[in-house]
Each structure stands twice: as C-alpha cells, then as structure tokens.
Structure 1
Amino acid sequence: MTEIPPVLPLLSVVVPVRNEQGNIAPLIADIEAACASIGPFEVVYVDDGSTDGTAAALARIAGEKPWLRVVTHAQSCGQSAAVRSGVRHARAAIVATLDGDGQNDPAFLPQMLATLQEGGPEAGLVQGQRVGRKDTGFKRWQSKIANGVRGRVLRDATRDTGCGLKCFRREAYLSLPYFDALHRFMPALVAREGYKVLLFDVRDRPRLTGVSNYGFFDRLWVGILDLVGVWWLIRRRKRVPQIVAPAQAGEAR
C-alpha cells in the first residue's frame, strides 16, 4: 500500500513566549481564525524557559490542535534565539512571526502572506510597522529613539523594525548571520542578502494579560554594539554575487 505523503503547510507561524500563561489560549484562537482562509498551516510556539504555567497551557491545547507544535528551551535564551529555534523547526517555505503577548494582531497574516507571494522570489521579507501603538508613553519614546538612530545608521527605510509581525522566506532568514537581537535588524540584513523588503502597516493592540519581559536600560549598551556590528556587516558586503548557471554539455560557448 502506497503511503500518502503528509501535506506541508503553506505558512508556519512562529511565536516566541516566556511566562505568557494567560495569553496562550486567546492568541492561539486568534491565529487559528486568521489562518483558516490560508490553507494548510502550522503554529510553532517556542517556550523560552518559562517558569509559570505556559508549558502546561501549551501542552493542553497541543493535544487538541494537530497543527500546533511546541519547542521548549530548558532555560531562557532570549527572543532572537527563540525565533531561530522556531524557524528551524518550521516546515513551510514561508514563515510569519508575532509576539506572544497578544499585541500583534494575527488578522494581518493572510494579507502579509499575499504581499510576500505577490512580490515574487526576490521579495524576502514583509516587515510589519505598527500604527496606533498601545504601549506606555515611555516605551513609545524609547522605540522612537532606537528606530531613529538605527534608521540613520543603517538607512534601512523602515520606521519600526521592533514590530514582531513579520512574514519572510525561510531560506532568506536562515542565510542571515545569527546573533542575539537579530530580529530587530532583519530588514537591513535581508536587504544585505539581495532580497527586496516590503513594508506593511499593522494595527497594534493592548497586551492581553501580564507584563513585558523586556526592559530598556538592561539592553541599551548591547543594542548599540549590535547596531555597530550590523553596520560593519553591511559595509563588508559591497554587492551580492549573481550566480550564472554553467553551460550544459553540447551548448555553444
């Protein structure tokens, strides 16, 4: 009897989380509703060393949803590491990411996927840009400063690289040099690899429950070093090599 090969998903949605127990069920329900029109999809949650009931909440729902997969870090390794683990476990050629606190609205996923597909093979990333930020005034101020400095240094023409809503080609992401905080510099680095970066405005939502796991002053100096490193990487690659297929045997040369 011939075995029927499994149907690969058209989209893998990767969600990094740490201590987001109260946001698990409502966000998964939102993702399911948003992706229903796409076709086969999967959701890959990466539990980045949670110490609350996040793992139990994910295990319970995964038992009911065959398209939900869970990757677990034994200890917290950070958001970029969690995203990378999720992308490496993803089975679709196109991956979308969103934050696990519920502020990124999954309703935009079908439109972002369509935008990437319409962009053709040269389009590597659709970067979400938040409109109507629901964060505190201080957090909006720090994001404005960070995005302003990054934009002037890298000239990536993107006003909000910190938005967790992204849709990209898996192969493009895996070609990027990995480092902590990679997710905040993806537009510049994807463009460095020769891909086109498309921008997409998305509506921001208030956090569903809990508090942010990420601070400002504890990552300020590290962020400056990362910015310098990305600037150096871009400067080091002057042009992207264009591969020319070798002539086949018998062809005129």
Structure 2
Amino acid sequence: MDFNGRKYRLTIIVPVNNEEENLPRLATELFNYLKIAVVPTQVLFVNDGSTDNSEALIASICKNNNSFNYISLRTNGGLSTALKAGFDIIETELTGYIDADLQTLPRDFNILLKHIDSNDLVMGFRQKRKDAFLKYLSSILANKFRRIFTRDGINDTGCPLKIIKTDFAKQLPLFKGMHRFLPALIQLQKGRVMQVPIEHYPRVFGKSHFNLPNRVLGTFIDCFIFLWIKKRFITYDISNSNTKPE
C-alpha cells in the first residue's frame, strides 16, 4: 500500500459497514473519478467490522486496481473510529472522505479541490436533500444543537463529502462522535474551513445506520464532550528557536 504521498496527493477514505449492495456501483464511480481527478488520487476503503460480504467485495475491488487499498477493523467501531483509522495511516498531503451509500458522488471532490489550497477543510453543503423525512428532521435538529454549542458557522457538518489537509486530520482528538465536529475541531487548530454547495442523491441500496435517537441524542451528548475538549485543547505558536534541521 502506497500511503506515503510519493505518487498521490489525495487519499479518499471510504468507511464501509454492511454495504455489499452498494459496493459494485461505488467502485465504478470511484474508478471513473480517478480518471478525471484534478490531483493524483488513491482510495482507501475502511471496512468497519462488516458482517455481510463487504470485505470480500472490497478485497476483490482492490486486487484489480493499484490505486485502491483497504484495511479492515476487527469489530464495528463507528464512523469516527473508521475515519481515525484512515487518518492514522495516510501520508498524502490531502485526505478526502465520502460515504459508501453514494448519496454524494466522487466527482464533486473536484469542486472541493478548487478551494483547498486556501483552506484547511473544505466540505460539501447538501442542496435539496433527498433523505427520508425522519432522517432529514434528525439532521436539522442535530445541526441546530451543534451550531449553538460550537458556533462554527457550518450549516451541514454531516455532509459526507470533505477534503482536509492531512496534517490537521492527524491532530484531531479521538472520541465517539468526532465526525460531527470536524469543522469545529479544525477551527480549534486555528484552521480555515469552507463549505460549498453540492448535489445530493437518494440512497439506492441498503439503509441508513443513523436514526432520530442516535443522531439527536448522540449529538446533544457529544456537544458537552466537545465543550470539555475546547476548554482544555492545547495550541501554541513557537516565536523563536535555535534548533537546526538534520
């Protein structure tokens, strides 16, 4: 696996949990995107403890394309764990993230890439959401809770299409629900965050792993964790040094 950045500039993390029906279409969309990507790009699937045939399908997909790689987590740890596992091993300059359900499409990474040089996190803002009513309602409520607590100015932190500078990603504090606070956590590092409108599509196969209780109640609880981290988060700027490069 080539995660050292010599060949690629962007690595796209794709967390997967029981998405066997979506994987063939997902692989096609990602393969087609690599041909039009505006920077050299590779893909990292993170199999998050799937109990269906997802791991076997991922292994087959990666076997046939050198720009596709994967890791498998022994047990299901959730989205934040899958993202952190990817952040920990990626060494390309940029890290992307997209969900396996294809409600956002890889081709829109090119829209985000237009703005990444002047920002540290660029994320999508889903236009004309194509979600079921309860999922849409829970997302709206969760976003309102989060904006009140974080004051990050982000309308759609749950959008599953993001590009982040890897140096910032590697410094993110790990906790359950971390993925909901990526913009605010980047801002804690004095990073710049931008959101741009993208298209949103209905889920074709499978079902969402989120529901009203875990999205709204989970976000409410995680907001207090974020406030604790914000109060104790360590940042510093070195004003002078006599250290010499090796």
- Preserved contact between residue 7 and residue 40 of structure 1 (Cα < 8 Å): no
The Cα shift of 1:240 comes to 4.5
Q: Which amino acid aligns with 2:237?
A: Q
Deviations, residues 100-154 of structure 1 (Å, cap 9, x unaligned)? 111111111122122102x0xxx21112111111101111111111111211221
**55-64 vs 34-43, greater mean Cα deviation:** 34-43
CA RMSD of aligned residues (A): 2.0
Residue 190 (structure 2) pairs with residue 204 (structure 1): no
- Preserved contact between residue 128 and residue 200 of structure 1 (Cα < 8 Å): yes
Task: Give the equivalent residue in structure 2 for 1:186.
Answer: 182
Residue 191 (structure 2) pairs with residue 195 (structure 1): yes
Deviations, residues 219-250 of structure 1 (Å, cap 9, x unaligned)? 5433222101112322445x94322242689x
The Cα shift of 1:30 comes to 1.3
Which of 155, 158, 180 is the equivalent residue of 1:162? 158
Unmatched tracts of structure 2, length 5 or more = none
The Cα shift of 1:21 comes to 0.5
**What does residue range 131-170 of structure 1 map to in structure 2 within 5 Å?**
131-170=127-166
- Preserved contact between residue 14 and residue 99 of structure 2 (Cα < 8 Å): yes
TM superposition score normalised by structure 2: 0.90
Helix, strand or coil for the counterpart of 1:108?
helix
Distance 1:69 1:7 in 2: 16
Task: Give the equivalent residue in structure 2 for 1:111.
Answer: 111
Mark the CA change 1:6 to 1:98 in structure 2 (over 3 Å): closer, same or farther.
Answer: closer
Q: Which amino acid aligns with 1:101?
A: D
Helix, strand or coil for the counterpart of 1:176?
coil
- Preserved contact between residue 35 and residue 110 of structure 1 (Cα < 8 Å): no
**106-115 vs 94-103, greater mean Cα deviation:** 106-115
The Cα shift of 1:91 comes to 3.2
- Number of paired residues? 240
Instruction: Tell which structure's C-alpha radius of gyration is larger.
Output: 1
Task: Give the equivalent residue in structure 1 for 2:41.
Answer: 41
- Preserved contact between residue 42 and residue 67 of structure 1 (Cα < 8 Å): yes
- Preserved contact between residue 130 and residue 202 of structure 1 (Cα < 8 Å): yes
Helix, strand or coil for the counterpart of 1:22?
coil
Deviations, residues 144-182 of structure 1 (Å, cap 9, x unaligned)? 111112112211100110111110011101111110111
Unmatched tracts of structure 1, length 5 or more = none
Helix, strand or coil for the counterpart of 1:185?
helix
Q: Which amino acid aligns with 1:144?
A: I
**What does residue range 205-244 of structure 1 map to in structure 2 within 5 Å?**
205-218=201-214, 220-237=216-233, 240-244=235-239
Distance 2:152 2:180 in 1: 12
Q: Which amino acid aligns with 1:174?
A: K
Runs of 4+ residues over 3 Å off in structure 1: 218-222
- Preserved contact between residue 125 and residue 156 of structure 2 (Cα < 8 Å): yes
The Cα shift of 1:39 comes to 4.0
Distance 1:178 1:196 in 2: 20
Q: Which amino acid aligns with 2:168?
A: A
- Preserved contact between residue 35 and residue 109 of structure 1 (Cα < 8 Å): no
Helix, strand or coil for the counterpart of 1:36?
helix
TM superposition score normalised by structure 1: 0.88
Percent of aligned pairs with the same amino acid: 28
Distance 2:29 2:54 in 1: 17
Helix, strand or coil for the counterpart of 2:115?
helix
- Preserved contact between residue 142 and residue 215 of structure 2 (Cα < 8 Å): no
